[in-house]
Amino acid sequence: MTNEQNNDEIKALLKSAITPVNYTELPRDLWPQMLRKLDERPAPAVLATLDKIPWFDWALAAILSALLIAFPGTIPALLYHL
């Protein structure tokens, strides 16, 4: 049996149990709902900025933090060189 025949048989079975959505008209304007959501959840500036930081910067920060936790004696030396 080919993939097409296979798909057609399963499609016929599925469509006998789950019919396509015929009515897709939006019953009302959703802008008031959108405005409410915008008021509740204003676009977070901090999160938007965090989104833009590349993943490898996060990886470097994580590695540096891990090293500082593992070898706390290096913190004064690091501060001295900063």
Partner 1 sequence: MELLERFAAGDLEAFEALFRTHQKEVYAWVIRIVRDHGIAEDLTVETFWRIYRSHSRFDPTGSFRAWARRIATNAALDHLRHARRETELPNDLPGLAASDPAVCRETRSRIREAFFQLPPKYRLVATLALIEEEPYNNIAEAMGISVALVKVRLFRAVRMLRKKLNSFYTEVIAK
What is the smallest separation between the CB atom of 23 and partner 1, expressed in angstroms? 3
Residue with tokens 């930081």: 53
Give the span between the Cα atoms of 8 and 48, in whole angstroms: 46
CB nearer partner 1, residue 28 or residue 81: 28
Write out the binding residues for partner 1, residues 8-27 only, by CB under 8 A. 9-11, 13-27
Pick the binder of partner 1 from 39, 43, 46, 82 (CB under 8 A): 43
Beta carbons within 10 angstroms of residue 78's beta carbon: 12
Binding site for partner 1 (CB under 8 A): 3, 6-7, 9-11, 13-27, 29-31, 33-34, 37-38, 41, 43-44, 48
